[in-house]
């Protein structure tokens, strides 16, 4: 039986093996999980759970969401995608959503960074300042 | 007109609305005043976090994938999945003279119901202590008004003197008496318009104490008129361990403001044993590895970085000072336990209070043998040094002889004289609480005993004699006291004056 520390270490090693130029390779992830589950070694499920968590964290770190009150024109979308790719590196998956509650402007979230340029956000800031 | 519109248009089009970058995270685990938060990419160590509901948190451990946050306030309203926002600011508390006379909590928020605090400055709670180049040796005294301390274990401004002893041996009383004494001296200087006197402001930090104890203590300060010169930082036992852990650092930040602005301040940490226990709790729920007695490995650094912030800084940096009086509670007089030895090694001396002495009626129950002040003697008044220089040695000799004398009554005259002198000195050092004695009166009393004026007084009558002497001095010998205070030394003129005063008093007493 592996200790929690050993499981964490192995999960981290596996995760590092999945990286190709700093980006997670989906094929390798699938392969590892497949073999890990099929192998049936004691503690391998724990390692897999921890490995999955690392992948999840990496995914959320590279996921960019652009929220806007109205649908953005394709040209602007392309420009934003390119800009975010430049700033946060290759492999940044950008998704676009609409939220009328923002009133106007856009809010971009990449991982734990939030750029709030929406009117709703500014109003909330103003409220907090009072 | 067209010009103006064009100008405005240019200005508006040139104006850029900057979008602030914020870092956010999500609570993954919460409990015991501690949360683990995922996300928060660029968070700083000790950064204030906004947990929503008006609750502040502090990023205390930055791990690979998550951040350990301690929560200041009611954590029960938070739940897993809540958003946490970084503020980009380190934890800070309001500082300044507006806090004097107030009772505040760890975050510097008033809890005395006297309305908001007027303060326009804030200091970070965690700050690096002044470096070597900024410091200056200690040269000015803190007059505690407690004769045994001022005579034998003098404390200087900028010193760190530990008060250590078992429960209910008068540790807090010594500190409160010192605060009252400072308030009296400050007020006297204010009244007489003496600008050469540097006022000493006090900060009392109560860590993990009973609310009733704190309330009683505030009442004492108020009664004696010391509260207007004092800040009370209270983190009672009902507060979370996190705010108990931060309270002394908040108090130190308030004291540093005085030091940085060329003023002198005194800070009392009551007490650091409970502080260590609170820190142990925080560390254990943060799952940090534990060491001896389950304290985390950095419990020494916890106290050393706190006490290192007490200093006397050089003239070019304002010449201010921060004196620290940490309190440690021992278990049945064991000074070699973990936390006591740590703090003893950090401080510049200790005042040890002994349970046996306390029950024998010696108040304050200072055990002279193992109490020391490593730097304070440089700051002691010269007059006091002249009368009290050999006191510690004499008292040690007395204790040895007194123990020996118990076995037989045949003593030679010299030994008997030494024992008699010792008994009278000890009697002189007995002092009721909350009644500090001015240093000039202390000097005269000690001069009297050193010059044999008390030898004829019966030991039981010494206290009575001292009270009458104090009355006599303050009522009819005020110029003599003023001369001692001014000259700061017993020169020939002052000594002659003392001799006539002694003769007069002896005639009066008949």
pLDDT tens column, B214-246: 999 999 999 999 999 999 999 999 998 999 999
- Residues B22, A57: C-beta atoms closer than 8 Å: no
DSSP helix, strand, coil percent of chain B (3-state; round to 5): 45, 20, 35
Across residues B134-159, what is the average pLDDT? Answer: 95
* pLDDT > 80? residue A54: yes
Residues 6+ away with beta carbon under 8 Å from B182: B142, B143, B199, B200, B201, B202, B226, B229, B266
- Residues B20, A115: C-beta atoms closer than 8 Å: yes
pTM for the whole structure: 0.89
Across residues B369-397, what is the average pLDDT? Answer: 89
* pLDDT > 80? residue B208: yes
What H or E segment, with its residue span, contains residue A86?
Answer: helix A74-88
**Higher-pLDDT residue of A130, B321:** B321
Structure confidence at residue B22 (pLDDT): 85
- Say if CB B353 and CB B164 are below 8 A apart: yes
Structure confidence at residue B510 (pLDDT): 63
Structure confidence at residue B9 (pLDDT): 81
Q: How far is CA B238 from CA B93, B198, B241, in A?
A: 21, 37, 9
Across residues B24-50, what is the average pLDDT? Answer: 90
* pLDDT bucket at A22, cuts 50 / 70 / 90: confident
Long-range CB contacts for residues B120-124, cutoff 8 Å, separation at least 24: B120/B96, B121/B94, B121/B95, B121/B96, B121/B257, B122/B92, B122/B93, B122/B94, B122/B95, B123/B92, B123/B93, B123/B95, B123/B253, B123/B254, B123/B256, B123/B257, B124/B46, B124/B90, B124/B91, B124/B92, B124/B253
- Residues A114, B65: C-beta atoms closer than 8 Å: no
Across residues B49-77, what is the average pLDDT? Answer: 89
Report the residue from A61, A109, A117 with minimal CB separation from B19.
A117
Among B166, B159, B163, which Cα is nearest to B146's? B163
Across residues B301-306, what is the average pLDDT? Answer: 96
End-to-end Cα distance, chain B: 101
Structure confidence at residue B295 (pLDDT): 97
> ipTM of this model?
0.79
- Say if CB A113 and CB B42 are below 8 A apart: yes
Using a pLDDT cut of 70, give the percent of chain B over it: 98
Structure tokens that stand for B209 in this block:
């104490």
Which residues from B are below 8 Å from A112, CB to CB?
23-25, 39-42
| Dihedral sign of CA atoms B473, B477, B481, B482 in order | positive
Angular region, B491: left φ>0, alpha ψ -120 to 50, beta rest: beta
* pLDDT > 90? residue B151: yes
* pLDDT > 80? residue A39: no
User: What is the DSSP secondary structure assignment for residue B255, as one 8-state letter?
Assistant: H
Rg (CA), chain B: 27
Structure confidence at residue B15 (pLDDT): 61
* pLDDT bucket at B337, cuts 50 / 70 / 90: very high
Q: What angle do CA B154, B429, B387 make, to 5 degrees?
A: 55
* pLDDT > 90? residue A85: no
Structure confidence at residue B410 (pLDDT): 77
- Residues B20, A61: C-beta atoms closer than 8 Å: no
Q: What are phi and psi of A26, to 5 degrees?
A: -65, -40
Across residues B438-449, what is the average pLDDT? Answer: 93
Which residues sit opposite A40 in a β-bridge? none
The answer to whether B23 faces chain A, any CB pair under 8 Å, is yes
Rg (CA), chain A: 20
- Residues B24, A109: C-beta atoms closer than 8 Å: yes
**Across A68-77, B5-14, B469-478, least confident range:** B5-14
B167 classed as catalytic: no
* pLDDT > 90? residue B348: yes
Structure confidence at residue A58 (pLDDT): 86
CA distance B288 to B341: 23
**Higher-pLDDT residue of A89, B252:** B252
Using a pLDDT cut of 70, give the percent of chain A over it: 99
Across residues B20-39, what is the average pLDDT? Answer: 88
Structure confidence at residue B2 (pLDDT): 65
β strands within B296-409, DSSP E:
321-329, 349-353, 372-373
Across residues B339-358, what is the average pLDDT? Answer: 95
- Residues B22, A116: C-beta atoms closer than 8 Å: yes
Structure confidence at residue B33 (pLDDT): 85
- Residues A115, B38: C-beta atoms closer than 8 Å: no
Angular region, B96: left φ>0, alpha ψ -120 to 50, beta rest: left
* pLDDT > 90? residue A38: no
B24 to chain A: nearest residue by CA? A112
- Say if CB B378 and CB B349 are below 8 A apart: no
Structure confidence at residue B376 (pLDDT): 86
- Find the catalytic residue in B134, B135, B374, B468: B374
- Residues B65, A109: C-beta atoms closer than 8 Å: no
B19 to chain A: nearest residue by CA? A117
The answer to whether B406 faces chain A, any CB pair under 8 Å, is no
* pLDDT > 70? residue A69: yes
Across residues A67-84, what is the average pLDDT? Answer: 90
* pLDDT bucket at B464, cuts 50 / 70 / 90: very high
CA distance B508 to B475: 13
* pLDDT > 90? residue B129: yes
The answer to whether A124 faces chain B, any CB pair under 8 Å, is no
* pLDDT bucket at B181, cuts 50 / 70 / 90: very high
The answer to whether B65 faces chain A, any CB pair under 8 Å, is yes
Q: Are strands A19-20 and B83-90 parallel, antiparallel or unpaired?
A: unpaired
Highest mean pLDDT among B270-274, B358-362, B423-427: B270-274
Structure confidence at residue B504 (pLDDT): 92
Which residues from A are below 8 Å from B40, CB to CB?
112
Q: Angle at which helices B462-476 and B478-487 pack, to 10 degrees?
A: 90
CB pairs under 8 A between A and B: 35
B65 to chain A: nearest residue by CA? A57
* pLDDT bucket at B78, cuts 50 / 70 / 90: very high
The answer to whether A83 faces chain B, any CB pair under 8 Å, is no
How close does chain A come to B160, measured CA to CA in Å? 41
* pLDDT bucket at B31, cuts 50 / 70 / 90: confident
Q: What pLDDT, in 10s, does the model give residues B265-293?
A: 999 999 999 999 999 999 999 889 999 99
The answer to whether A116 faces chain B, any CB pair under 8 Å, is yes
CA distance B487 to B496: 14
- Residues B21, A117: C-beta atoms closer than 8 Å: no
Across residues B4-23, what is the average pLDDT? Answer: 76
* pLDDT > 90? residue B63: no
Using a pLDDT cut of 90, give the percent of chain B over it: 73
* pLDDT > 70? residue B369: yes
Report the residue from A53, A60, A113 with minimal CB separation from B21.
A113
**Higher-pLDDT residue of B400, B327:** B327
Three-class secondary structure of residue A69 per DSSP: coil
* Helix and strand counts by DSSP (H, E) for chain A: 5, 6
Across residues A27-38, what is the average pLDDT? Answer: 87
> What average pLDDT does chain B have?
92
The answer to whether B88 faces chain A, any CB pair under 8 Å, is no
> What average pLDDT does chain A have?
87
């Amino acid at each position: 039986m592996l200790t929690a520390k050993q499981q964490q270490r192995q999960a981290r090693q596996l995760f590092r093996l999945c990286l190709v130029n700093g980006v997670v390779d989906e094929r390798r992830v699938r392969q590892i999980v497949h073999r890990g589950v099929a192998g049936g070694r004691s503690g391998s499920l724990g390692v897999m759970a921890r490995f999955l968590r690392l992948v999840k964290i990496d995914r959320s770190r590279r996921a960019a969401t652009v929220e806007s009150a109205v649908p953005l024109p394709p040209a602007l979308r392309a420009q934003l995608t390119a800009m975010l790719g430049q700033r946060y590196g290759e492999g940044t998956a950008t998704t676009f959503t609409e939220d009328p509650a923002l009133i106007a402007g856009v809010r971009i979230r990449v991982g734990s960074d939030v750029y709030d340029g929406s009117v709703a956000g500014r109003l909330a800031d103003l409220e907090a300042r009072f | 007109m067209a010009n103006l519109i064009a100008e405005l248009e240019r200005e508006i089009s040139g104006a850029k609305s900057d979008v602030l970058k914020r870092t956010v995270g999500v609570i993954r685990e919460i409990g015991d005043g501690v949360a683990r938060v995922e996300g928060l990419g660029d968070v700083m160590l000790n950064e204030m976090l906004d947990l929503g509901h008006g609750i502040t948190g502090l990023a205390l451990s930055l791990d690979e994938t998550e951040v350990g946050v301690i929560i200041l306030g009611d954590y029960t309203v938070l739940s897993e999945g809540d958003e946490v926002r970084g503020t980009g600011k380190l934890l800070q508390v309001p500082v300044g003279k507006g806090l004097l006379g107030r009772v505040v909590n760890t975050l510097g928020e008033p809890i005395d119901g006297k309305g908001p605090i007027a303060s326009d400055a804030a200091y970070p709670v965690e700050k690096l202590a002044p470096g070597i180049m900024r410091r200056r040796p200690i040269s000015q005294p803190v007059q505690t008004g407690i004769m045994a301390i001022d005579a034998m274990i003098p404390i200087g401004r900028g010193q760190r003197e530990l008060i250590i002893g078992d429960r209910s041996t008068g540790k807090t009383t010594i500190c409160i008496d010192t605060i009252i004494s400072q308030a009296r001296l400050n007020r006297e200087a204010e009244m007489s318009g003496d600008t050469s006197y540097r006022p000493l402001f006090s900060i009392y930090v109560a860590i993990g104490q009973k609310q009733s104890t704190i309330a009683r203590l505030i009442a004492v300060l108020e009664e004696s008129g010391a509260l207007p010169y004092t800040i009370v930082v209270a983190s009672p036992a009902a507060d979370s361990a996190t705010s108990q852990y931060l309270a002394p650092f908040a108090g130190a930040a308030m004291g540093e403001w005085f030091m940085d602005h060329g003023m002198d301040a005194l800070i009392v940490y009551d007490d650091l044993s409970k502080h260590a226990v609170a820190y142990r709790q925080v560390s254990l729920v943060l799952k940090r590895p534990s060491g001896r007695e389950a304290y985390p490995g950095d419990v020494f650094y916890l106290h050393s970085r706190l006490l290192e912030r007490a200093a006397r800084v050089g003239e070019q940096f304002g010449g201010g000072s921060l004196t620290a009086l940490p309190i440690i509670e021992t278990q049945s007089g064991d000074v070699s336990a973990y936390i006591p030895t740590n703090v003893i090694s950090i401080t510049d001396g200790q005042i040890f209070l002994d349970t046996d002495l306390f029950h024998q009626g010696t108040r304050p129950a200072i055990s002279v043998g193992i109490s020391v002040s490593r730097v304070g003697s440089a700051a002691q008044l010269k007059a006091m040094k002249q009368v009290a220089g050999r006191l510690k040695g004499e008292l040690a000799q007395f204790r040895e002889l007194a123990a020996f004398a118990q076995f037989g009554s045949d003593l030679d005259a010299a030994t008997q004289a030494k024992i008699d002198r010792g008994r009278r000195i000890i009697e002189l050092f007995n002092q009721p609480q909350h009644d500090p004695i001015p240093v000039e009166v202390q000097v005269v009393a000690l001069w009297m005993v050193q010059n044999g004026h008390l030898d004829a007084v019966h030991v039981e009558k010494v206290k009575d004699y001292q009270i009458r002497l104090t009355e006599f001095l303050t009522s009819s010998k005020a110029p003599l006291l003023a001369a001692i205070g001014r000259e700061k030394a017993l020169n020939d003129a002052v000594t002659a004056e003392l001799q006539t005063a002694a003769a007069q008093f002896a005639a009066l007493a008949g």
